[in-house]
Structure 1
């Protein structure tokens, strides 16, 4: 049964006024909980208008609570430097006291960080589409904005510290490339897309335009992951190299997507330009085992093999550490200082 429009308006205005008058998180949380209950009731009653305004009040309450929680985190506690640690007491309410989970606190605070005009636009768009905006959506928007800013800052810093990074002017018989793929970091113990890289990445168009200083006869090894395997094959074609085979680095452990196998390997695609020859092929295998290392750091055994089977000069593009027998190219050439 649908309630009268005037009754809905009165309730809506009363909730807005109560929210504006609220002075602590407990009051705001109470308004939010009532809005959640009203949202559920309206859905059961098949009253879409009531459901939409209840969802709006809920969102506004969660944003207000998020702003308050953020201020509580910044607020200084009592002076404790003159009190023994065992006697120190912090009487500020905990999330458990307020009845808010850590996930809700984080989500609401991120939603509150979205500029007001963007929040209002999201609410208005929700009414237009008939699907209410949520704190989860605003929090995701805030996360994307933060990630984008980090990447822009990283690229700006890169341009400032190294505005031009000239490709070596000599031609190489052997090139190893470990591109800064346009990806998110996947730690073994966190969800996918949880963390962003702290260094600039390159998209496919940028990688295609890259000058590869290859000799007429050149071996090329292109490191890639499962996700970027199709892109890596396209790059080889664009760079005018012919794909031959894939070297597989088997490493212990790895990220396992839901419903899929564990990703416990990486690939170095081997391609060639012209007709290069290997110095030798004894004990030269496409699959090898090597320990897992820091993110983006490749195994020493791979470079030792390449150095043994390929003539110099050799180049390690996007190098992150000095390696005997290889010239370096990249912005992180001293990230890992040891040289095997």
Structure 2
């Protein structure tokens, strides 16, 4: 039987391109550069067996970007969660940043619920400013804030890039300590 988690923290590899058309250095203004890691389609993300590892009482923190705001709600629902609150990471871009007409300097963390998981404390605000680090790396603050808020309960990070104490991990860049299984 698969381990069940009460906290799921996920940063899916959404299909995007890196760099803006205007910002290309090689003179090719027709297309952006592909990312340096494999991405997944919306259908592939939605079809992951997250329901199988989610406890009947569980919270989901799902990272998304401007392009996939609407679809992140679909993903949460397909995984068995009810979207609740959007948290915002206001990041200082390196260079001009991504985007078209408006450069994008935010990423979003959709907080969702399944059943009843009680917070041990309230969090002041839903918007935080942290400098951007390497591509796609999220500030450690968010992982810590989640544990501070909900306590030391079974938790897993999906699409993890490194291990963090107290977290099981699943992804193609780490030695997995969680079993997600194959897509449905």
Q: Does 1:306 align with 2:149?
A: no
Once the 2 structures are TM-superposed, how far is the Cα of residue 185 of structure 1 from its aligned partner?
Answer: 1.8
Q: Does 1:236 align with 2:76?
A: yes
Matched residues in 1 for 2:165 and 2:116: separation?
25
Pairs within 5 Å for 1:83-162: none
Matched residues in 2 for 1:188 and 1:298: separation?
25
* Contact 2:5 2:156 survives alignment (8 Å): yes
Q: Secondary structure at the match of 1:234?
A: helix
User: What residue is the counterpart of 1:209 in the other structure?
Assistant: 47
* Contact 1:284 1:305 survives alignment (8 Å): no
* Contact 1:187 1:255 survives alignment (8 Å): yes
Matched residues in 1 for 2:10 and 2:92: separation?
23
Once the 2 structures are TM-superposed, how far is the Cα of residue 328 of structure 1 from its aligned partner?
Answer: 0.7
Matched residues in 2 for 1:226 and 1:186: separation?
15
Q: Cα distance 1:279–1:188, how it changes in 2: closer, same or farther (>3 A)?
A: farther
Q: Does 1:273 align with 2:111?
A: no
Q: Cα distance 1:252–1:218, how it changes in 2: closer, same or farther (>3 A)?
A: same
Where has structure 1 moved over 4 Å in runs of 4 or more? none
Flag the structure with higher strand content. 2
* Contact 1:279 1:310 survives alignment (8 Å): yes
Once the 2 structures are TM-superposed, how far is the Cα of residue 277 of structure 1 from its aligned partner?
Answer: 0.9
Using CA pairs under 8 Å that are at least 6 residues apart, name the structure with larger relative contact order, 1 or 2: 2
Matched residues in 2 for 1:290 and 1:198: separation?
23
Once the 2 structures are TM-superposed, how far is the Cα of residue 257 of structure 1 from its aligned partner?
Answer: 1.5
Number of residue pairs the alignment of both structures matches = 164
Q: Cα distance 1:264–1:314, how it changes in 2: closer, same or farther (>3 A)?
A: same
* Contact 2:20 2:100 survives alignment (8 Å): no
Any idea what the Cα deviations from partners look like across 1:89-139, whole Å, max 9, x if unmatched?
A: xxxxxxxxxxxxxxxxxxxxxxxxxxxxxxxxxxxxxxxxxxxxxxxxxxx
User: What residue is the counterpart of 1:331 in the other structure?
Assistant: 172
Q: Does 1:197 align with 2:38?
A: no
Q: Secondary structure at the match of 1:227?
A: helix
Unaligned stretches of 5+ residues in structure 1: 1-167, 335-340
User: What residue is the counterpart of 1:255 in the other structure?
Assistant: 98
Matched residues in 1 for 2:166 and 2:19: separation?
31
Unaligned stretches of 5+ residues in structure 2: 176-184
Q: Does 1:288 align with 2:128?
A: yes
* Contact 1:307 1:325 survives alignment (8 Å): no
Flag the structure with higher helix content. 1
Matched residues in 2 for 1:273 and 1:297: separation?
27
Matched residues in 1 for 2:57 and 2:21: separation?
40
Q: Secondary structure at the match of 1:210?
A: coil
